[in-house]
């Protein structure tokens, strides 16, 4: 595969939730080699911050990967897309500006994305005021089985946060 010339050329496609999040088989540990990416829609998922659960309904979930050797940025994350023998790198902020307007509108957006440098992400303008949830540190996906339903859960032990709206400094 040739390297994409623009963010819009990435093969960022809709996938079934369990496939997208690497949950098609029962597992006891996280698959750290999984490099799938794409987007999906879910009626409900749970954000787990080390035991504290937050329910998120009607969510657009973006599964992305932070570059293993990415720069430590205070307010952004370097993304990495493995495309066969080709590797594409892009800042999360540029990716969201390009892709969010092209995806379905939901009540909220959840970034299933490791944030190794604990960046504090600003709310992307393309989110149009919707909450954008992101974790700090590693983010893992789990499917909890219960007798009456299964529960999709994303774990960020260092916590889940909503992207903030940048504030302007007050005039003197």
Reported as a single tens digit per residue, the pLDDT across 102-117 is 999 999 999 999 999 9
Question: For residue 133, is it within any domain?
Answer: yes
Residue 98 lies in a domain: yes
Give domain status of residue 125, yes or no.
yes
Residue-range definition of the domain harbouring residue 99: 37-162
Q: Are strands 38-49 and 150-155 parallel, antiparallel or unpaired?
A: parallel
What is the torsion angle, in degrees rounded to the nearest 10, for the CA atoms of residue 123, residue 104, residue 68 and residue 143?
A: 110
pLDDT in tens, 55-101: 999 999 999 999 888 889 999 999 999 888 888 889 999 999 999 99
How many domains is the chain partitioned into structurally? 1
Residue reference for tokens 């987007």? 39
Lowest mean pLDDT among 13-22, 82-91, 111-120, 132-141: 82-91
Angstrom distance (rounded) from CA 103 to CA 122: 19
Take residue 6 and report the two structure tokens written for it. 């623009």
Is residue 171 scored above 70 in pLDDT? Answer: no
- Asked whether 73 and 66 are in contact (CB, 8 A), the reply is no
**Residue 4 in this model has a pLDDT that exceeds 90:** no
Q: d(Cα 132, Cα 109) in Å, to the nearest integer?
A: 5
Task: Please tell me the predicted confidence (pLDDT) of residue 33.
Answer: 72
Confidence of residue 2 (pLDDT cuts 50, 70, 90): low
């Amino acid at each position: 595969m040739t390297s994409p010339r623009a963010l819009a050329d990435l093969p960022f496609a809709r996938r079934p939730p369990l496939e997208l999040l690497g949950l098609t088989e029962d597992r006891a540990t996280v698959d750290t080699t999984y490099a799938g990416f794409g987007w999906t829609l879910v009626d409900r998922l749970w954000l787990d911050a080390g035991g504290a659960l937050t329910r998120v309904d009607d969510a657009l979930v973006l599964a992305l990967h932070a570059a293993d050797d990415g720069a430590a940025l205070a307010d952004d994350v370097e993304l990495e897309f493995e495309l066969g023998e080709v590797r594409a790198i892009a800042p999360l902020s540029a990716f969201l500006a390009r892709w969010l307007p092209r995806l379905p509108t939901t009540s909220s957006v959840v970034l299933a994305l490791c944030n190794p440098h604990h960046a504090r992400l600003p709310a992307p303008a393309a989110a149009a005021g919707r909450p954008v949830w992101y974790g700090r540190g590693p983010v893992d996906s789990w499917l909890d089985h219960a007798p009456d339903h299964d529960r999709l859960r994303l774990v960020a032990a260092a916590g889940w946060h909503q992207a903030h709206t940048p504030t302007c400094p007050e005039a003197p």
